[in-house]
Every structure is written in structure tokens, then in C-alpha cells.
Homo-oligomer: A and B are copies of this chain.
Amino acid sequence: MFDRCIYFNTTALARQLDRVWTAAFAPFDLTPPQGFMLRAVLARPGLLQSELADELKIARATTTRGLDGLEAKGLIVRTKSSGDKRESLITPTAAALEIKDALNAASAAVTQRLSGLFGAEVFAGFVDQAKAIAAKLE
């Protein structure tokens, strides 16, 4: 019915991809948003919370809640910046470091599988276009 609508088809695809990554991250007891947030923290320990929000392209408020969840699971810690007392530095805990490689591998495996399913070129082209369109909308 909304065959030609970018909104409809993109959000529908996003929901389906969410299911795929939900399965991939289930062994770690992490939802996709939690998994990606943790991966970002693991990739760049010591990030400011606002930088994390930028990196993940989510609102600052959403970052607060996401980190609350990871903190409750003992996967990250917030440290008040010694300089600017408003800022929080986010660092992964030992428990997070332990699953780092497996988590990244799980995500890479899904990417690999989908890339094969659609054809590597089509897959990469689609992702590039999604990025390009998002950039133009900013």
C-alpha cells in the first residue's frame, strides 16, 4: 500500500533488522541498542556521554537511560570528569571487556550472513545510501 514510501519501508526494515540483532545479542543478554552502545564504549573508552550520543545518533536523554541499563548490568561505569564537573566519562568494566570480542564477532557474523544473502555489493551500496540520505537530512 505504501510501496513507494521511504518512511514506511525504512521503518519496516528497521523493525525486521531489530529482530535479527535481537537474536544475535541474546546470548549476551543485551538488546540491540544496549549492544551497540556497549560496543561504542568498548571501542572508545573514556568517551564523554554527549560524544556517545553523537556517535550513536540518539538524543542525550536516551543515552542517559541506555547507560543506566548498562551500569545496572555492571558493564560500564560513569566517572565525573576531573576538569569540567558537569561531564561524565564512560568506561567499560572488566566484565564488558570480557565479552568485547565475542560481541563484535556476533555482530560481524550477522553482517556477513546478510551480506551474503543480498550480495556484498548490493548490501554495501544500500548501507552507503542509507548513510548518505541520513547525512542530507541533518
Measured CB to CB, the residues of A under 8 A from B are 1-18, 20-21, 32, 36, 39-40, 43-44, 55, 57-58, 107, 110-111, 114, 117-118, 122-127, 129-134, 136-138
Which residues of chain B are near A123, meaning CB under 8 Å?
A: 6
Beyond A6-B111, A7-B21, A111-B4, whether A16 also contacts B126 by CB under 8 A is: no
> Which listed residue (B40, B129, B138) contacts A126, Cβ 8 A?
B129
Tell me if B36 and A134 are in contact (CB < 8 A).
no
**Nearest 6 pairs of A and B residues by beta carbon:** A14-B14, A9-B130, A12-B57, A13-B134, A7-B17, A16-B137
Tell me if B10 and A10 are in contact (CB < 8 A).
yes
Stoichiometry, copies per complex:
2
Bound-state CA distance A129–B117 (Å) is: 13
Q: Please, which residue of chain B has its CB at the minimum distance from the CB of A3?
A: B131
Tell me if A15 and B111 are in contact (CB < 8 A).
no
Bound-state CA distance A78–B20 (Å) is: 34
